[in-house]
Amino acid sequence: MSILRYAIDRILQTIPVLIGVSLITFLFINALPGDVISALYADQALGEESIRALEERHGLNESFFERYLSFMAGILQGDLGYSIHYETSVTSLVLTRAGPTLMLTLSAFAFAIVTAIPLGAIAASRRNQSPDHLSRIVALFGVSTPSFWVGIMLIVIFAVTLGWLPSGGLVYPWRAPGHYGFDSQLELYVQTVQSLLLPMIALGTMQMAMLMRIERSEMVETLQRDYIQLARAYGVSERTILRKHAFREAQLPIITIVGLNISTALGGSVVIEQVFDINGIGKLLLSAIELRDFQVVTGITLVLAAIFVIGVVITDIAYAYIDPRITLDGGE
Amino acid sequence: MSSNPLLSVEGLTVQFFTDRGTVTAVNEISFEIQEEEIVGLVGESGAGKSVASMSLLRLINGPGRIVEGEIRYKDRTLFALEEGPDGEPRKREDMLSDEEMRTEIRGNEIAVIFQDPMESLNPVYTVGNQLQEFIKLNRDISKKEARSEAIRMLREVGISDAAERYEKYPHEFSGGMRQRVLIAMALACKPNLIIADEPTTALDVTIEGQILDLVQDLQEKYGTSFLWVTHDMGVVADICEQVNVMYLGNIVEQAPVDDIFYNTKHLYTDALLDSMPRPDRTVERLKAIKGVMPSAIDPPEGCPFHTRCPDARQVCEQTHPDLRDVSDDANIIHRSACLKHDIFNVNYEGSLPMTDETKRQANTSAGTTSVNETGADR
Amino acid sequence: MATNEAQVEQDETAVSGQEVGLSHQLKQIKRDITARIGLYIVVLVTFVAGFSWFDANLGTITFGYVSDYTLAQAAPLLEHPERLPPPTDMNAHAPPAFVEGGTWEHPLGTDHEGRDYLSRIVYGTRISVMVGFAATAIGLVGGVAIGATAGYYGGRVDDLLMRFVEIIFAIPALVLIIVFTEFVSGGNPDIQYAVAGAGIASIPIFSRIMRSRVLSVREMEYIEAARSAGVKDRHIIIRHVIPNSFASVLVYATLQVGVVILLVASLSFLGYGAQPPTPDWGQMLSYAHGQMHSNPWMSVFPGLAILVTIMGFNLLGDGLQDALNPRIDN
């Protein structure tokens, strides 16, 4: 019955999935052509000897299975391996690059939720009237437009043409203002928001559109329930019906969808980081692939899968917590 | 009857404007409800009972609209139209505004109980939360008073440890218990009229009996009038004083309950009665009503029941009977819409009987889709 | 009361049953204006794709403007980039006709090698449509096979297959495809690898839908009857279970075409899909991204082309879904 117990159960269920992910990526990456040594020292003519020495140092001469086992042993201690190119541990590499990616994806979700829920609810309550048609058109465009193109268009309009906002890069709020040559903490925050605005919208538009459609259809369905008609029959105003009676049940599916969309958003941030030149995990992944730094690629893939899987677990728990009909024992 | 009824309905017509044409769900019906009286509205599903009852609160949404008629409650006009200067009908001046309907009529004067107790309570709020909200809203009392009133009413409808149950969610109640909650909700708002839309249909027979007993007790205690919508003649016999039988949007028979049962004046009512088990009659087997109710989109010409009527004559296909008093007793008003009765004077006896063949044709041409009126209320 | 009409509709579906699912859907589509627009877009885009294919093979002219490279010509050039002719500078980066300095000879201007932009966008239609259909087909076949098997046999088989699907689903599709492309292509990414990857990334959605459909179909009486009559499992799955689930899978397939076009465009944008000089929309945007400041118009049209194409499939898919499940909108 306790939430904790339920949470632990759900987390344990994710372990086979994560092992599967690690195995698959490890397999892929290790079969990739070209190796990191020659990619790294492409400009130097290395002798057989020194190549072998380097391989030995990085454990590249061991068998696939041995390497996988030692990789997994490392993971259990929070060690994602060693990046040969960056000459640092993958864990610390991922941690330093996680900030911008999290900033981007979380703000994109916030933007999507804050806009989609009221718009979807209004559309549902004014079904087949102009607000509804408008929101449906917006949602349709949203789900049909590639986020990277939205990003490019936003840059062309707001950065290049109007010059209102920066065309790329992120200002990190955790840095000292002096790092960017700003005078005050406030200026730093203002710049952070300004630099985040366009990538956030670019990444969040599709999420917004998806959530808006679901919000609308859930709300339409909820508004047709008997208990809504009953509330009307007891003289409850339409406003209260929308805000109190219909709202809560209609939000339950949204929670699930947000959880499932974490994966899409993380994938999307790879592209958006490229468009806006943001040094996040996505950019790290692309350059690691280019450099054949397979430890980094495996580490990132695993981290992204873990974020998604844990995100789904968290939304499951949140759902169970909010919906009184679900008891945590498993039965109804 | 009495010159001053609690509620009176005159020529109420409700239509749904759909892609496939106009559906007349309720066709010029008239009836009255006296103070402290339980009035039945009976018919098969699709007859328009629920639409008719919800239109009393003006709660018809979407493609549906009240297009004609007058609804009066006490000295107030819930609905009335008049002809505007452009010849188009417009709202009459004395008709209550939407806001007045909401704040002054719904809940505090006329409350409702729905068919499905499982669906009538919001699953994500506690029962107490919902009771308290509606009571507070309709009786204009504080939250705290609403709470104690709610708990008192829960006790009144037979829910033990009411204070504890008050904090529970609907899914923690059984169907019968939920229906008791909804009855408590209705009564706690102190209305003079409760519309009960098939409130016991979703329950099993023993629970149904308990609920009916409860309603009768409370009705006597509080003196509330009821409009009891049902398809079950057994329930009607149990609790109603006055009965209206509906078929395809029309009231086809209207009489005090005893006259409906023992002096039936419409063949549809007859058929309904034949399809129910009765303690006063022994039959080999119960008869189901032949055929299905025609589509409300394309209703049959003439008498709406002629496609299924065992005694239909050709005149029934041509003349639409209105509701007329056919009572032999001057003290009783017993109305029926059947051309068989002399008062219609259409030479029924001289008309040729309709064959099964002609009836079948009429039936198929009318189609078999029905506007499901319980679905329509959701 | 709002569902009044839906109710009527539902009654009718109940009467006519699922067997006529597809024709019923098509009838609904005729009545639904937005779905009809979607259908028109899909037909138009497919037609343009087919037309330019025909055209490319004959090496003739499209809309009066020659494209320097067709896909067939481009393939050998890719392996020997040094054989690419030098850029024709004089004509490069000509602006669209409606911008100052543009001419109607090149309505949407030219790219950095002086190639007509409109022609390239028209050619791009073929690539996108092919990508959409091919990747969806891979996902559909793989997903239906996995889902049907998992749902029909249940137990261990189900567990194993669905775990596998979950693993694929847990990796962000884009990341999965990039890693896959690198793995399969031996470090020389190209569009066909991206399509295969997008197909694999589409397997989870189809297998889930198929599995849940199978679970409900499996319990039906006629399946029971077939099984007790000794009909082989494989036969039951192929002859009864899959056709019965076809309608709902088709709806998702339509929507998935849009999704994979979007995915592959993103890949091409990142350099893991179509390679220059292939006139692929995502690849064109990749170049245009570097031209945001000097030639912003270059970014506009390939993106619009993607938008319209995907919108067509989305509208059609939504319409099919509404027709299949009239509960929400009527």
Q: pLDDT tens digits, residue range A234-254?
A: 988 888 888 888 888 888 888
In the stretch 30-69 of chain C, residues with CB closer than 8 A to chain B read: 31
The answer to whether residue A93 is domain-embedded is no
Polymer length in residues for chain C: 330
Give the whole-angstrom CA distance, residue A138 versus residue B38.
52
Q: Does B371 touch chain C (CB under 8 A)?
A: yes
Closest alpha carbon within chain C to B65:
C1
Query: Please, what are the averages of pLDDT over each run of 10 residues along chain C (330 residues)?
Result: 35 35 57 80 81 45 39 51 49 71 72 72 83 92 90 86 88 88 81 91 90 79 77 78 78 89 91 81 86 82 90 86 57
Per-residue confidence (pLDDT) for residue B90, from 0 to 100: 84
Residue B197: strand pairing partners? B229
Give the B:C interface size as CB pairs under 8 Å: 49
Domain count, chain B: 1
**Residue C13 CB partners (closer than 8 Å, separation 6+):** C24, C326
Asked if residue A311 is part of any domain, the answer here is yes
Confirm if B238 and B230 have CB atoms less than 8 A apart.
no
Residue B138 in contact with residue B107, Cβ under 8 Å?
yes
Contact (Cβ atoms closer than 8 angstroms) between residue C175 and residue A267: yes
Q: Which residues contact C318 (CB under 8 A, 6 or more apart)?
A: C34, C35, C38, C255
Q: Does A224 touch chain B (CB under 8 A)?
A: yes
Interchain CB contact of C12 with B (< 8 Å): yes
| Partner A, chain B 96-115, Cβ-Cβ below 8 Å | 102-103, 105-108, 111-112, 114-115
* Model pLDDT for residues B225-243, shown as the tens digit of each residue: 999 999 888 888 888 999 9
Locate the chain B residue with the closest alpha carbon to A326.
B171
Which region holds residue B43: left if phi is over 0, alpha if psi is between -120 and 50, else beta? Answer: left
Structure letter (DSSP) for residue B288: P
CB distance C292–A221 less than 8 Å? no
C1 to B371: CB separation less than 8 angstroms, yes or no: no
The domain of A59 spans 1-85+291-332
Lowest-confidence segment of B26-35, B60-69, B251-260, B280-289 by average pLDDT: B280-289
A305 in contact with chain C, both atoms CB, cutoff 8 A:
yes
Q: Does B229 touch chain A (CB under 8 A)?
A: no
Question: Does residue B326 belong to any structural domain of this protein?
Answer: yes
Q: Which of B189, B231, B175 is nearest to B48 (CA)?
A: B231
Strand partners of residue B81: B91
- Domains of chain C (ranges; CATH) run 25-55+129-324 (1.10.3720.10)
Cβ distance C187 to A34 less than 8 Å, yes or no, reads yes
Q: Which residue is listed with tokens 């129910």?
A: B276
Both A34 and A106 in one domain: the answer is: no
Please indicate, yes or no, if residue B11 is contained in any of the structural domains.
no
Q: Locate C219 and state its tokens.
A: 């319990």
Same domain, yes or no, for A112 and A179? Answer: yes
Q: What is the crossing angle of helices A247-276 and A294-322, to 10°? A: 160
Identify the pLDDT of residue C58: 35
What span, in angstroms and rounded, lies between the C-alpha atoms of C298 and C291?
A: 7
Share of chain A above pLDDT 70, in %: 88
Please tell me whether residues A146 and A275 are part of one structural domain. Answer: yes
**pLDDT tens-digit readout, A10-58:** 788 888 888 888 888 777 767 655 555 665 565 566 666 776 776 666 6
The residue of chain A with its CA nearest to that of B134 is A234
Q: Are residues A23 and A107 in the same domain?
A: no
DSSP H helices in chain B: 49-55, 98-100, 117-120, 127-139, 143-156, 162-165, 175-188, 205-222, 233-239, 257-262, 267-274, 314-318, 356-366, 373-376
**Contact criterion met (CB < 8 Å) for A225 and B119:** yes
For residue C27 the two structure tokens come to 């009838």
Confidence (pLDDT) at A57: 64
Q: Which amino acid is at B143?
A: K
Q: Are residues A332 and A185 in the same domain?
A: no
**B57 chain-A contacts, CB cut-off 8 A:** 233
Nearest CA in chain A to C180: A28
Pairing state between β B193-197 and B225-230? parallel
Indicate whether A94 belongs to any domain.
no
The residue of C160, C188, C266, C327 whose CB has the most chain A CBs within 10 angstroms, and thus the best one to mutate to test that interface, is C266
Tell me which chain A residues have a C-beta less than 8 angstroms from the C-beta of C257.
none
Domain count within chain A: 2
Find chains touching chain C: ≥3 CB pairs under 8 Å. Answer: A, B
**Hey, what are B306's tokens?**
């002629």
Tokens of B348: 């029924």
Domain identity same for A74 and A103: no
Residues composing chain B: 378
- Does A108 contact C at CB distance below 8 Å? no
**Residue of A144 and B351 predicted with greater confidence:** A144
Helical spans, DSSP H, in chain C: 4-16, 21-31, 33-58, 71-79, 117-153, 155-170, 173-185, 191-201, 203-218, 221-228, 233-236, 242-244, 246-270, 281-290, 297-324
Using the structure block, give the residue that is written with the tokens 């790092």. Answer: A179
pLDDT at C320: 80
Cβ neighbours of C11 in B, within 8 Å: 369-370, 372
pLDDT at C22: 53
Predicted confidence at residue A59, as pLDDT, reads 63
How many whole angstroms separate alpha carbon C14 and alpha carbon C7? 10
Is B76 inside a domain boundary? Answer: no
Check residue A13 and give its pLDDT.
81
User: Closest Cα of chain B to C21: distance in Å?
Assistant: 19
DSSP-based helix, strand, coil % in chain A, nearest 5? 75, 0, 25
ipTM comes to 0.82
Partner-chain contact B375 C7, CB within 8 Å: yes
- Any chain C CB within 8 A of the CB of A17? yes
Identity of residue C201? A
Residue of B107, B123, B125 lying closest to A235 (CB–CB):
B107
3-class SS letters over A147-196: HHHHHHHHHHHHHHHCCCCCCCCCCCCCCCHHHHCCCCHHHHHHHHHHHH
- Chain A residue numbers touching C159 (CB-CB < 8 A): none
Looking at residue C10, its pLDDT comes to 35
Rounded Cα distance between C140 and B232, Å, is 51
Angle C140-C141-C147 from CA coordinates, rounded to 5°: 80
- The interaxial angle of helices C297-324 and A130-144, nearest 10 deg, is 120
Of A309, A273, A303, nearest in space to A101 by CA: A273
Residue A147 has pLDDT above 70, yes or no: yes
For A278, phi then psi, to 5°, come to -105, 130
Residue A38 near chain B (CB below 8 Å): no
Residues of B in contact with A324 (CB under 8 A): 123-124, 126, 169, 171
Q: Clarify whether residues A177 and A257 are in a common domain.
A: yes
A281 lies within 8 A of chain C by CB: no
DSSP C82-143: GGSPPP-GGGTTPPPTTSTT--TTSTT-B-TTS-BHHHHHHHHHHHHHHHHHHHHHHHHHHH
The partner residue sitting opposite A267, judged by closest CB among C166, C172, C183, is C172
B118 compared with C25, residue with greater pLDDT = B118
Residue of C nearest to A264 (CA): C172
Q: Are A176 and A313 contained in the same domain?
A: no
What is the C-alpha to C-alpha distance for residues C97 and C116, in angstroms, rounded to an integer? 12
Q: What is the dihedral of CA A218, A219, A221, A225, to 10 degrees?
A: 130
| Amino acid at position B184, single letter | A
- Please report residues of A whose CB lies closer than 8 A to that of C310: 143-145
pLDDT tens track for A172-231: 888 888 888 888 888 888 888 988 999 999 999 999 999 998 888 888 888 888 889 899
Do residues A329 and C196 lie in contact, with contact meaning Cβ atoms separated by under 8 Å?
Answer: no
- Closest C-alpha among B203, B204, B202, B272 to residue B237: B272
A140 lies in the same domain as A111: yes
Element (H, E) at A227: helix A226-233
Q: What is the pLDDT of residues A255-295, one digit of tens each?
A: 888 888 888 888 899 999 999 989 999 999 998 888 878 78
Contact indicator for C126, C70 with CB cutoff of 8 Å = no
How far is Cα B295 from Cα B330, in angstroms, rounded to an integer?
Answer: 37
Task: Give the closest-approach CA distance of B369 to chain C in angstroms.
Answer: 7
Residues A184 and A259 in one domain: yes
**Chain A, nearest residue to B121 by Cα:** A227
Whether residue A91 lies inside any domain: the answer is no
CATH number at residue A231: 1.10.3720.10
Q: What is the pTM of this model?
A: 0.79
Q: In B183-218, which positions are buried (b, 16+ CB within 10 angstroms) versus exposed (e)?
A: bbbbbbbbbbbbbbbbbbbbbeeebbebbbebbeeb
pLDDT of residue B346: 77
Which of 266-285 (C) contact A at CB < 8 A?
Answer: 266, 269-270, 282, 285
Both A152 and A78 in one domain: the answer is no
Say yes or no to pLDDT of A330 above 80.
no
B32 close contact with A: CB closer than 8 A: no
Given a cut of 60, is residue B1 above it in pLDDT?
Answer: no
Count of residues making up chain A = 332
The reply to whether B333 falls in a domain is yes
Phi, psi for C144 (deg, rounded to 5): -65, -40
> Which pairing describes strands B7-18 and B335-336: parallel, antiparallel, or unpaired?
unpaired
What's chain B's Rg over C-alpha atoms?
22
Does residue B357 lie within any of the structural domains? yes
- Residue C99 confidence (pLDDT): 73
Query: Which amino acid does the sequence have at A198?
Result: L
- Please state, rounded to an integer, the average pLDDT across all residues of chain B: 83
Q: Are residues A109 and A170 in the same domain?
A: yes
Residue B322 belongs to domain spanning: 266-374
